[in-house]
A = this chain, B = another copy of it.
Amino acid sequence: MALLHDDRLFPADPTTRDIARRLYATVRNLPIISPHGHTNAGWFTSNEAFPDPAKLFIQPDHYVHRMLYSQGVRLEDLEIGKPVIENPRAVWHIFAKHYYLFRGTPSRLWLDYAFQEHFGMTERLSEKTADLYFDTISEKLATPEFRPRALFESFKMEVLATTDAATDPLTDIQALRAGDWKGRIIPTFRPDSVVDPEFAGFLENLDKLGQISNEDTSTWKGYLNALRKQRERFKSLGATATDHGHPTARTADLDEEECAALFATVLNGEADEDDAEIFRAQMLTEMAKMSVEDGLVMQIHPGSMRNHNLEIFENFGRDMGADIPTATDYVHALQPMLDIVGNERDLTIILFTLDETAFSRELAPLAGHYPALRLGPPWWFHDSFEGMMRFRETATETAGFYNTVGFNDDTRAFLSIPARHDVARRTDCAFLARLVAEHRLEEDEAFTLAQDLTVNLVRSAYKL
């Protein structure tokens, strides 16, 4: 008995399924390359055991607790936000009782994969099996094989990128590089907290940036130098990319004088909503220009309305499952930046979207033209079988496969990484199999593409 069928996600048609199986066999065991995610480098520095099943599977996974919350479960009862979970077994029981809610969702596929592949479970999670799961997982977590470094190795991870504030001292990353463990953990430069005037603590963040870089961040020039220095510092610790999470994709091209004046307004705390938006827009362009200089790959993740639920934000803080996508324009928004760097052949800007309609209408046409642009994989809510299929169906015909960059797991949930890459590999193989079965692609090309989508495009796009 098994939680998951070995043919899962493959098309039902026997001919197509057979092709999908053969494709998947060639990529199933390739190393995992994770160029974008939100795991914690500290796990690997300390290499301590994960404390309990609730802390591992429920607390860090807002896909999980947002679904439970939507159906009336209280976050307090899940002990969300607590540094230590007081009653992990009780939390686990609530989760198990509501496990049926995840039918048809990617969370279910990811969780079942982890339960089966890492913990050997064979019977579905439910109230009845809740204790069996809790005990089995707890027991395994206490073993040496389940320490973070051992898992990293058993997952066959080639590289794992974290995402870090521009002002982060990167102590853990430094410690890892100084130590003798060979796992490749690299940082990603994420400057939102110092380029978005509406970010909580923005002015303090600028001070911190000044101190850490020994630059005067009260002048436009000093501020840019500080950012430049921090990018170099990240790069020296292995970073190959930056990441930018803006409310919109807007970019700007102000002249030096306008920039300095706007920066002064921002520093005086006199920036209104429009000023803040233009400042962020200009900073995307500045970051792109620095990427031309230092070669860091630029990732842009726009279009999420953060903290939509005020009550949840006030009681539990950021990243609690209440960020909601909005319609996002790219064509007008990106033009000022693209006018400057779009034709650079050595620059890579990876575009992401939460607005799937942009794939066929805007993103594939843009990436299918500008040398600097590539399409990131389906992001967040769309990081799922149907989401990835729609991405391939709507982007490939205009942008081709070679303007895409492989998969991002983008997760805080370390144990879900192999599961997520497995879903992505299966979905790509299912898509390729359909193209072959419908004679839209030759079989030998599909085998080449399966390799390219799984590893080659990731390595080349992210310079890994």
Taking Cβ atoms with an 8 Å cutoff, the residues of A that contact B are: 4-5, 7-13, 15-16, 66-67, 69-72, 100-106, 109, 124, 305, 308-312, 321-322, 324-327, 329, 331-332, 335, 338-339, 342-343, 345, 354-357, 360-362, 364-371, 373, 381-382, 384-387, 393-394, 396-403, 434-435, 437-442, 445, 448-449
Q: Which of B16, B382, B442 contacts A12 (CB 8 A)?
A: B16
What residues of chain B lie closer than 8 Å to A384, measured between beta carbons? 397-398
What residues of chain B lie closer than 8 Å to A106, measured between beta carbons? 397
Contact B69 A398 (CB under 8 A): no
CB distance from A219 to the nearest CB of B (A): 31
What residues of chain B lie closer than 8 Å to A104, measured between beta carbons? 396-397, 400-401, 435, 440-441
Q: Which of B13, B109, B370 contacts A440 (CB 8 A)?
A: B109
Contact B309 A345 (CB under 8 A): no
Q: Which of B109, B364, B370, B441 contacts A309 (CB 8 A)?
A: B370
A335 closest partner in B (C-beta): B308
Contact B437 A368 (CB under 8 A): no
How far does the alpha carbon of A360 sit from the alpha carbon of B384 in the complex, in Å? 12
Contact B371 A69 (CB under 8 A): yes
How far does the alpha carbon of A287 sit from the alpha carbon of B39 in the complex, in Å? 43
Q: Which of B69, B72, B324, B362 contacts A331 (CB 8 A)?
A: B324
- Given contacts A381-B398, A397-B386, whether A305 and B332 have CB atoms under 8 Å apart is yes
Sampled A-B contacts (24; CB under 8 Å):
A7-B438, A7-B439, A9-B438, A9-B439, A11-B12, A11-B438, A66-B369, A70-B403, A71-B403, A103-B400, A103-B401, A103-B441, A103-B449, A104-B397, A105-B397, A305-B331, A308-B338, A309-B342, A311-B343, A325-B361, A327-B357, A360-B382, A384-B397, A386-B394
What residues of chain B lie closer than 8 Å to A356, measured between beta carbons? 357, 360-361
Contact A12 B434 (CB under 8 A): yes
Contact B370 A102 (CB under 8 A): no
The residue in A70, A308, A360 that gathers the most chain B C-beta atoms within 10 A of its C-beta is: A70
CB distance from A450 to the nearest CB of B (A): 12
Contact B72 A345 (CB under 8 A): yes
CB distance from A314 to the nearest CB of B (A): 11
CB distance from A301 to the nearest CB of B (A): 15
CB distance from A49 to the nearest CB of B (A): 32
Contact B103 A385 (CB under 8 A): no
How far does the alpha carbon of A8 sit from the alpha carbon of B367 in the complex, in Å? 27
How far does the alpha carbon of A381 sit from the alpha carbon of B359 in the complex, in Å? 11
- Given contacts A311-B343, A385-B440, A386-B393, whether A361 and B12 have CB atoms under 8 Å apart is no
What residues of chain B lie closer than 8 Å to A325, measured between beta carbons? 331, 361-362, 365
Contact B369 A440 (CB under 8 A): no
Contact B331 A308 (CB under 8 A): yes
Contact B101 A400 (CB under 8 A): yes
What residues of chain B lie closer than 8 Å to A72, measured between beta carbons? 345, 371
The residue in A10, A326, A365, A367 that gathers the most chain B C-beta atoms within 10 A of its C-beta is: A365
How far does the alpha carbon of A369 sit from the alpha carbon of B65 in the complex, in Å? 9
What residues of chain B lie closer than 8 Å to A381, measured between beta carbons? 360, 364-365, 397-398
How far does the alpha carbon of A70 sit from the alpha carbon of B371 in the complex, in Å? 4
Contact B361 A105 (CB under 8 A): no
CB distance from A232 to the nearest CB of B (A): 26
What residues of chain B lie closer than 8 Å to A15, measured between beta carbons? 12
What residues of chain B lie closer than 8 Å to A7, measured between beta carbons? 438-439
A339 closest partner in B (C-beta): B310
Q: Which of B5, B338, B365 contacts A439 (CB 8 A)?
A: B5
Q: Which of B324, B345, B396, B434 contacts A362 (CB 8 A)?
A: B324
What residues of chain B lie closer than 8 Å to A367, measured between beta carbons? 70
Contact A368 B439 (CB under 8 A): no
How far does the alpha carbon of A191 sit from the alpha carbon of B185 in the complex, in Å? 59
